A and B are shown apart, each in its own frame.
Chain A
């Protein structure tokens, strides 16, 4: 692997979040240049950087079970431009839920993009419970005992320029059991409701857009 042609691309709008933290961890080992996906404007310049790279590592959050919209826009733009020539592509997706299957679509989509555009798909890493981490080091992860060595091995695979198997991240993160799931759901809901109450919001209230329509109807009938 040529350290100077490694492109690390963070596709989260949050520059200090978990996606960026994971890339920074990789960069310490592989070197290369860190890019952030611009959230507005033309993406052509970024596509040129992708075409010029030898190895591309994309890291992003899971939004509604796959990568965010702007990342899909990048893939569509890159595909229209074409001109890829065997660049190695690795992907990372992290989401709040403690599961693999809820986030895995992102990597499948990236693999299909690679296969249809003459890039070399080299595998990826799905990370659950990424929201709780919120950009903090991987050593703070709930499953750090298994996740840290697995992610370090993923980094090693990148620096050796070899394929990284899905089994690496799957084995490192088993889903929580029934009791833990219930406790987890209650605890996270408690945090959500506490946050809402802090802002004077009622967690039981109908959605804002529904309330607005109801208010409109009442005012209209007076």
Chain B
């Protein structure tokens, strides 16, 4: 199962990607983060203590947790804003801390963490027209750091808002084959 979480406030990119995946017969579920009611993480630390693995904030993020926790691939689709994801997508990312393993491990000589369930691949699709080199590399580096700290595999893609069919199909192939 593939889970797509997209910010569709500036375009229908999440839906386009979902349709391309469905077209080849792979199971996929999509959420539009910009239309959901998701509050920011309050750093209450419950998810790494008192309510281990469970976020106590009762909002639409509770619909996403059960899907993300079992998915094989998580795909975040976001406009690239100041080399970052949008705040709608970032709210999901911050709250996903509840699905992380709070213990530390060492990889390539550095401390990292991991996800509570192994085996998820993690993709980020950034959409932006006329991005400069700094925006491009900032977006790539964010996802690279995410993959390291979460100990997951995956890839970053950056597309322009027209999302031509060839690039889209390439992304779909990478996602289903990773």
Contact = CB atoms under 8 A, between A and B. Distances in A.
B10 to A, nearest CB: 11
Interface residues of A, number: 57
B111 A207 contact: no
A209 B65 contact: yes
B49 A109 contact: no
Contacts of B39: 39-40
B83 A108 contact: yes
Interface in A193-213: 193, 195-196, 198-199, 201-203, 205-210, 212-213
B136 to A, nearest CB: 11
Contacts of A65: 142, 145-146, 149
A112 B85 CA distance: 13
Interface in A107-160: 108-110, 112-113, 116
A207 B48 contact: no
B108 to A, nearest CB: 10
Interface in B60-101: 65-66, 69-70, 81-87, 90-91, 93-94, 96-99
Contacts of B43: 12-14, 17, 61
A181 B84 contact: no
A108 B53 contact: no
Given A66-B84, A109-B83, A112-B83, A213 B70 contact: yes
A178 interface: yes
A162 interface: no
Contact of A13 (B41, B49, B82, B135): B41
Given A40-B39, A189-B104, A112 B134 contact: yes
A116 B149 CA distance: 29
B138 A69 contact: no
Contacts of A97: 111, 149
Given A39-B42, A196-B52, A199-B52, A75 B82 contact: yes
A178 B86 contact: no
A175 interface: yes
Interface of B: 39-43, 48-54, 65-66, 69-70, 81-87, 90-91, 93-94, 96-99, 102-106, 109-111, 116-117, 134-135, 138, 141-142, 145-146, 148-149
8 contacts: A63-B90, A65-B145, A108-B138, A192-B102, A192-B104, A207-B69, A208-B53, A213-B66
